[in-house]
Amino acid sequence: MNNLNKAIEALGEDERNQENREWIDALDDVMAEQGLQRGRDIIRILQNSLFKQGVHTTEATLNTPYRNTIPVNEQRSYPGNRELEQKLENIIRWNALAMVVKANDQGTGVGGHIATYQSAATMLEVGLNHFFKRHTDEYGGDQLLVQAHAAPGIYARAYLEGRLTDEQMANFRRELQQGGGLSSYPHPRRMPDFWQGPTASMGLSTPSAIYQARFMKYLENRGLKEPNGGKIWCFIGDGESDEPEVLGTINMASRDNLDNLVMVINCNLQRLDGPVRGNGKIIQELERSYRGAGWNVIKVIWGSEWDELFLRDRDGILQDRMDQAVDGDYQYYTVSDGQSVRDHWTQNDPRLEELMKTLSDEQIRCIKRGGQDRQKIFSAFDKAMENTGKPTVILMKTVKGDGMGASAEGQNTSHQKKQLTAEERIEIGRRFEIPLSDDELAAASLYKPDPDSPEIQYLHKQRQMLGGYLPSRIANFEKLTLPPLALFKEAVSGTKREQSTTMAFVRMLSHLLKDPEIGKYIVPIVPDEARTFGMESLFKQFGIYSSEGQKYNPVDSSSLLPYKEVKDGQMLQEGICETGAMASFLAAGTSYANYGVPTIPFYIFYSIFGFQRVGDMIWACADSMAKGFLLGGTAGRTTLNGEGLQHQDGHSQAIAATVPNMHSYDPAFAYELAVIIKDGIERMYINNENIFYYITLYNENYLMPAMPEGCEKEILKGMYRYVKNENPGHKVHLFGSGSLMQEVLKAAEILEEFGCSTDIWSVTSYNQLVRNALAVERENLLNPDANAESYLQIALKHEQGVFVTVSDFVKSLPNGIARWFPEDPVVLGTDGFGLSESRPTLRDHFEVDARFIAWAALSRLYSKGALSRETLNSARDKLKIPYEKADPAYF
């Protein structure tokens, strides 16, 4: 009876298989007669019919079978000389490996990575021989962002091109050596004529590439760049896709129709310690994500050797097995012998055994993945170039450490493999057919063919056809005209109505946007907080950039300040995405080098969010030599009352001190802000200094005074005397910054009641003061007889009395300058977590209000014997200073 049931079941399966074949044949006939689009239409109609009946096929629509997207009949013939390209690739692979190994032979422990480039070599070579174009008069130029760990391969190619010397190659990761060296990863700051963008911080190259592509479109739509093409080619690893910045920003690319963006994900199935998705399929997972986000997805999984097998696989059994196997299996196949692979693959299925019998064990062991097949890679890049209307992602399956031999190829340890035995070096060199002796191979010697050799001639010819060598960075732009300080007349002359420094900035920004000389280069950037910062007036005047314009009538269209999206809009409104906004700042701030257009970005944000959430992006801006202004709106631990712990910023200025080329300021008055912005434009866009600015702004309203005469230079140095009191009395010096300057002014009035003569100093930048003082100390260290003095020492040299500094930031900020004072100052700051409270209560809690400032001065005067105990007690009672109070630093 059981045998009968099995027979019936087998018969039913045969009938279903026959019916399935008939459906497929029918669909094939339709496409043969009416084209592929008609086939897609029929499937969509059937799918919609299922949806109406409550049957959902979401997975099927987001995932295609585990095979190459491009069928064989759609592949264009390979245009290059495969033999010469293979020889070149082998030489570059060897030199990339040799430079890492040689660097570690020196015993310096500088490290390096080999396996990543070995997996990516073929795809990068196909691109560099046939697709990646340099900027010319006719073409906008491509940007090449490669995997950081693949940098040795890019260096090895540039060495053959004659762009890098033997000394530089020998000094890989030894940048301070004689003859120069090479940075570990793509760092434009370290190699400003070479790398186009930093990629070493995992995950950040994706949003950088996306927003760089969007900014290219922005420039074209605003008429600042010719619409003459240019693509962003971004290469990342499959393990890197786990970083939230990667998949978290891909919707922007499809939303803005960025067909100038091609992402290539090197799916070698391994991250740094093991498989990316051992129990699943990272390629299928990424396909779902990118297809769901609206991208054009191209999968390159199998090499050409599989094409004939697919043709014979009429029943789809090979495809079923491919869909069934997980990445852990495929990694196992990489490190196993042919017979083991055959046994595991066929699973005793006679149909699979029959299909695979045409391949020997050795062929099965050596069969290529798509990412190591020149033809398959070329076809994918070719299709990506043809794609319009949406971005493209190419999921390229490779083997990590391809060509490195059994000790590294496909092994979990391959990423850490940076040293090879003499035998391993010789074996790899012979596999790559490098014409060096065994001794030279064992010594990891570089190999460079004769300049007249066919390989080198071919290499140069291919790059000449593509406009020149890549990667390459050329900063060539016209200097801008410096706006006069009079452009900010209101800020310099003072105001009759109270305003915050944030509002003062918005008005200055409006004047800059209207300036006939530099207005078109200003790029305002805001992450969905324009109304918070009072910038809604810019919507109507200058428009919010949208690649599609505005297809709807906004609900506030009848108001004075409607929400206005336009195709040539100037303002970048990034939504709730600090990473995206910083990526836009990076794109705008490097436009002078990437496009020859010196755009000036002004990115305003909640100051605590900027440095805490995307500090890594700010570091990438420093690496990229981005120019522009970062503006920390709503700064200060006590100024943004009511918002609480995760909004009140008391440390962004302290973090800003860690960015070497960032000039950070904390202005109290509008005229200080005006002087700083004018100076920044001059230094960055006229003097071409590779710096950028961080300025903190506040939302507290008060009258803005007129600028005193002769203080501009001192504002930029970081400090100047705002009030000099010539009256007799106990001498006190109060140092304030930002909106807490208002508390300092009140404290001076209190101190007057106790017989004090108070000078008030405005500290516009603790960080600039510290840097100057440290630079002078260093000079004195190297030249002990110099005895030079810092600006701070000179300014305070003849001052006497007591000194009190107060900041709405952590105490470490003013403490940074304390040792250069005539005597130790009392330092007040806002160490601790923010709180939801009113502004006066917050300042009392953190002990930075006028009462505590005055008390700090009086207490120090008492300790110096200048005040009696009775006077001090009287002051305590009047100012209501408690004897005991919870420490806000630990509250």
Kindly tell me if the per-residue pLDDT of 57 is higher than 70: no
Please report, to the nearest 10 degrees, the dihedral formed by the alpha carbons of residues 67, 68, 72, 76 taken in order.
Answer: -170
Model-level pTM? 0.92
Low-confidence winner among 334-338, 587-591, 806-810, 819-823 (lowest mean pLDDT)? 334-338
Whole-number pLDDT of residue 45: 85
- List pLDDT tens digits, range 438-451: 999 999 999 999 99
Low-confidence winner among 25-39, 184-198, 730-744 (lowest mean pLDDT)? 25-39
- List pLDDT tens digits, range 210-241: 999 999 999 999 999 999 999 999 999 999 99
Whole-number pLDDT of residue 6: 57
Region 156-179: what's the mean pLDDT? Answer: 96
- List pLDDT tens digits, range 649-669: 999 999 999 999 999 999 999
Whole-number pLDDT of residue 789: 96
Mean pLDDT score of the chain, rounded to an integer? 93
Whole-number pLDDT of residue 22: 81
* Ordered alpha helix ranges (H), 484-606: 489-493, 501-514, 537-542, 578-589, 591-594
Spatial contact of 48 and 278, defined as CB atoms under 8 Å apart: no
Query: Which tokens in the block code for residue 667?
Result: 């202005």
Query: Which tokens in the block code for residue 382?
Result: 């070719």
Task: Say if residue 588 is exposed, middle or buried (CB neighbours under 10 Å; 0-12, 13-18, 19+).
Answer: buried
Question: Residue 316: helix, strand or coil by DSSP?
Answer: coil
Question: Residue 637: helix, strand or coil by DSSP?
Answer: coil
- How many whole angstroms separate alpha carbon 287 and alpha carbon 324? 16
Question: Alpha-carbon torsion 242, 248, 254, 256, what sign?
Answer: negative
Region 133-137: what's the mean pLDDT? Answer: 96
pLDDT classification of 829: cutoffs 50, 70, 90: very high
Whole-number pLDDT of residue 613: 83
- List pLDDT tens digits, range 522-539: 999 999 888 889 898 999
As a three-state string, the secondary structure of 184-231 is: CCCCCCCCCCCCCCCCCCCCCHHHHHHHHHHHHHHHHHCCCCCCCCCC
Region 464-482: what's the mean pLDDT? Answer: 94
- List pLDDT tens digits, range 238-297: 999 999 999 999 999 999 999 999 999 999 999 888 899 999 999 999 999 999 999 999
Whole-number pLDDT of residue 466: 98
Whole-number pLDDT of residue 655: 95
Whole-number pLDDT of residue 405: 86
- List pLDDT tens digits, range 542-563: 999 999 999 999 888 888 888 9
Q: What percent of the chain has pLDDT over 90?
A: 76
Backbone angles phi, psi at 697, to 5 degrees: -125, 160
**CA distances, 201 to each of 327, 615, 682 (Å):** 26, 11, 31
Low-confidence winner among 216-230, 311-325, 469-483, 494-508 (lowest mean pLDDT)? 311-325
Q: Which one, of 79, 118, 82, 84, lies nearest residue 98 by Cα? A: 118
Q: Angle at Cα 318 formed by Cα 314 and Cα 322, nearest 5°?
A: 145
Burial 409-418 (b: 16+ CB within 10 A, else e): bbbbebbebb
- How many whole angstroms separate alpha carbon 133 and alpha carbon 463? 8
Region 176-203: what's the mean pLDDT? Answer: 94
- List pLDDT tens digits, range 317-368: 889 988 999 999 888 888 888 888 888 888 888 898 888 888 888 888 777 8
Whole-number pLDDT of residue 2: 58
Whole-number pLDDT of residue 69: 96
Query: Which tokens in the block code for residue 858?
Result: 């009086």
> How many contiguous H segments (helices) and E segments (strands) does the chain have?
37, 18
Kindly tell me if the per-residue pLDDT of 590 is higher than 60: yes
Low-confidence winner among 406-415, 615-624, 638-647, 803-812 (lowest mean pLDDT)? 406-415
Whole-number pLDDT of residue 39: 82
pLDDT classification of 37: cutoffs 50, 70, 90: confident
Whole-number pLDDT of residue 550: 93
Whole-number pLDDT of residue 236: 96
pLDDT classification of 201: cutoffs 50, 70, 90: confident
Q: Name beta bridge partners: 2.
A: none
Whole-number pLDDT of residue 43: 80
Kindly tell me if the per-residue pLDDT of 807 is higher than 80: yes
Whole-number pLDDT of residue 888: 96
Kindly tell me if the per-residue pLDDT of 61 is higher than 80: no
Whole-number pLDDT of residue 90: 97
Region 823-840: what's the mean pLDDT? Answer: 96
Name 863's Cβ contacts closer than 8 Å, sequence gap at least 6.
none
